[in-house]
Amino acid sequence: MITRCIFLLTLFAVQFVHAQNPLFIPDTLNGTNFNLTVQNGTTQFFPPSNTPTYGINGAFLSPTLFVNKWDWVTMNVNNTLTGNGNSTTMHWHGLHLPAMDDGGPHQLILQNTTWSPSFQILNNAGTYWYHPHGEGKTDLHVSRGLAGLIIIRDSAERALNLPRTYGVDDFPLIVQTKSFDILNQIAISTAYDTVPMVNGTIDPYVTMPAQVVRLRLLDGASDRSFMFGFSNNMPFYQIATDGGLIDTALAMNRLRLSNGERAEVLIDLSGMQGDTVYLMNYGSELAHGIMGADSVGDANNQMPDYYSNYLNGADFNLLMIIVGAQTANPVTSIPTALVPVPQINIASATVNRTIVFDTLSEQFTQPNLAEGPFAFDREFFHMDSINQTVYLNDTEIWTLINLTQVSHPFHIHDIQFQIVDINGGPVPANQQGWKDVVLVPAEDTVRFITTFSDFADASVPYMYHCHLLHHEDDGMMASFIVIDTLTSVMENYSGVDYTIYPNPSSDQFIIGFDQSPEENVLIEMIDLSGRVVLQQICSGGNTQVTLTPTVESGTYMIRISSATGSSTKRVQFIDQN
Ligand code: C2O
Ligand code: CU
């Protein structure tokens, strides 16, 4: 009895010293109709300090959404954020859906409005996530707490003997590092993301049963890649990449994830009841040039304060795992065969596209290849430009050429892709499945192949961007549209230059022509599903026309068509009645 007491006391002492906080497990939402209220809150990361945070249906982070493949779902995203001009958006990262439902920077959710896209779940079972994507605001909104998982189930996944009891043998692990200022407020765009957290919990511990357990890892950090491993160096088994299950479980003892990437892994804790093991970040093993490694850049290209952040290049604990009792009906073995991933045939690609990652150096006498600012193809993101036009159902190979000294995690919306090669060499086994993020190493080249199927929209673009959030916010982002040559009219330049103001507007839009058009032009206001809600003719010789819409608040397109073509601009209407 005495020995037992001493044992327990030691156990408590150890826990107290190393890990004080029970791991937060985000709530779950199920069904097909999801009400997501984006709200302000307060979280005590460093009691008694109150840190202002953002959350969905709570003060910090967002519930985990469970959906089934083939279901039609509706997401009611209500933006109740306070603060001046705090519009947001909500992007379903990794999901294959129409551009207008994608939640990129063009699907603005104004304050006190609700955006309700409906779409069908077409992705395979896997771990996806959702987060805001507002122009220049992604880092702020994600860092303050807006991020949640989407777990898709399907019949192929259900047929396997895998752990799938959420929070019992199947754990969501949103891994982040954050910066706090001296008043314990979350800061962004600093070099000091020195506070690791899992599911928003600092120094977390969790009890997991002594059996096979599934971990759904997301690198949800703004700025840092992780090299996951366990303190006892036990092997673990990757079973899924960004886009779902892979062919076979892959044994490994290190797994690197970059910003936005997910992996599902199995760990076998059988026979370990009473043991403690740590999920670690082995930052010292990240290659040079990766954010979080011991070095980025060279003598002439430095990132300010990078070496003052003591987490860079360091190995540190992320999560203390206490192995508890087995559950009833435990999974006790690692399945070998999972779900076959059909490989896209390289020879089927009909389009090759190249994206160059570079600094916009004309602003600097000495471009800083480690600090940026970075851009694709020497252009910063612009809301009104379309950078690539893709034709529906084309299979394309994209070549990503990184001329900089930082490794950038490249993410593309709409589709999942397969990596063809990395710097001409083979793709590691655990990156051969479906992906929507790939880390393009510093001064390296990555190629991927994909087919742009199902969704075309001549006016609403999808995004591709660096998932280092301040790179994205600073303009390392671009857009593409997918065009169906059978059904959509190409948006040609109409030959008529015009401006629309005010925009946003709550009563009318004035369309002013730089030069009065010689012939009649047709002006149409179109909603996001393509319905014309207002039509007007501006006869030749006039210089301006006023549109007075009677429509609901939201995003609309104004299309100007002349004899030579048409062009479309986006407007925001705020209905005050
Ligand atoms: Cu996770 Cu375009 O974003
Ligand atoms: Cu980047």
Residue 528, pLDDT > 80, answer no
Tokens of 413: 């919306």
- State residue 530's pLDDT score: 62
Band the pLDDT of 562: cuts 50, 70, 90: confident
User: Pairing mode, if any, of strands 21-22 and 204-209?
Assistant: parallel
Residue 292 has pLDDT above 80, yes or no: yes
Query: Which ligand has the shortest distance to the CA of 402?
Result: 2
Closest ligand by atom to 223 CA: 2
Residue located nearest, by CA, to atom 1 of ligand 1: 93
Token pair in block for residue 122? 């077409």
Going from the Cα of 285 to the center of ligand 2, the distance in angstroms, rounded, reads: 20
CA–centroid distance, residue 494 to ligand 2 (Å): 35
Q: What pLDDT score does 494 carry? A: 63
411 lines ligand 1 (CB under 6 A): yes
pLDDT for 4 beyond 60: no
Beta strands 262-268 and 212-219 are antiparallel
For ligand 1, is residue 133 a contact (CB within 6 Å)? yes
Alpha carbon of 467 to ligand 1 centroid (Å): 7
Q: What is the pLDDT of residue 575?
A: 85
Identify the DSSP state of 393: T
Q: For ligand 1, say whether the CB of 413 is within 6 Å of any of its atoms.
A: yes
The model's pLDDT over 110-165, given as tens digits with 9 standing for 90+, comes to: 999 999 999 999 999 999 999 999 999 999 999 999 999 999 999 999 999 999 99
* Tens-digit pLDDT profile for residues 187-240: 998 999 999 999 999 999 999 999 999 999 999 999 999 999 999 999 999 999
Kindly state the tokens that stand for 117.
């896209």
What is the pLDDT of the chain when averaged over all its residues?
Answer: 91
Mean pLDDT of 402-406: 97
Residues 240, 249: Cα–Cα separation, whole Å: 8
Is 144's C-beta closer than 6 angstroms to any atom of ligand 1?
A: no
Q: Which of 201-215, 430-444, 539-553 has the lowest mean pLDDT?
A: 539-553
- 149 C-beta closer than 6 A to ligand 1: no
Ligand 1: does its nearest atom lie under 6 Å from the Cβ of 465?
yes
The residues near 3 (Cβ < 8 Å, ≥ 6 apart) are none
Spatial contact of 139 and 189, defined as CB atoms under 8 Å apart: yes
What number of CA atoms fall less than 13 Å from residue 475's CA on the CB side?
Answer: 15
Give the distance (Å) from ligand 1 centre to CA of residue 469.
9
Beta carbons within 8 Å of 335's beta carbon, 6+ residues apart: 160, 161, 162, 239, 249
Distance 265 CA to ligand 1 centre (A): 22
Reported confidence tier of residue 103, pLDDT bands at 50, 70, 90 = very high
Residues 88/139, Cβ–Cβ less than 8 Å: no
Q: What is the pTM of this model?
A: 0.83
For ligand 1, is residue 145 a contact (CB within 6 Å)?
no
Q: H-helix or E-strand containing 478?
A: strand 477-483
Query: How many residues appear in the chain?
Result: 577
The whole-number average pLDDT for the span 179-194 is 94
Quick check: 177 and 221 in contact, CB under 8 A?
Answer: yes
Q: How far apart are the CA of 467 and the centre of ligand 2, in A?
A: 6
* Token reading at 465: 């961007």
Ligand nearest to the CA of 370: 2
Ligand 1 near 214 CB (within 6 A): no
Residue with tokens 């949103």: 174
262 lines ligand 1 (CB under 6 A): no
117 alpha carbon – ligand 2 mean position (Å):
29
Give the span between the Cα atoms of 151 and 25, in whole angstroms: 14
Q: Provide mean pLDDT across the span 309-338.
A: 97
Token pair in block for residue 328: 């009833």
Closest listed ligand to the CA of 437: 1
Calpha distance 539→545 (Å, rounded): 9
- 498-501 and 544-547 beta bridge pairing: unpaired
Question: Which tokens hold the place of 185?
Answer: 């407020």
Residue 138 has phi, psi (to 5 degrees) of: -60, -45
Q: What is the pLDDT of residues 452-508, one digit of tens each?
A: 999 999 889 999 999 999 999 999 999 999 987 654 444 555 667 788 889 889 999
- Ligand 1 in reach of 91 Cβ (< 6 A): yes
Judge whether 209 and 250 are in contact, CB under 8 Å: no
Average pLDDT over residues 443-447: 98
| pLDDT of res. 6 | 42
150 close to ligand 1 (CB < 6 Angstrom): no
CA–CA dist 91, 342 (Å, integer): 27
pLDDT tens by residue, 339-398: 999 999 999 998 899 999 999 866 556 788 999 899 999 899 999 888 888 888 999 999
- Beta strands 186-187; 170-180: pairing state: antiparallel
pLDDT average, residue stretch 77-98: 96
Q: How many angstroms is it from 91 CA to the middle of ligand 1?
A: 7
* Ligand 1 atom 3: residue of nearest CA: 93
Ligand sitting nearest the alpha carbon of 95 = 1
360 close to 382: Cβ distance less than 8 angstroms? no
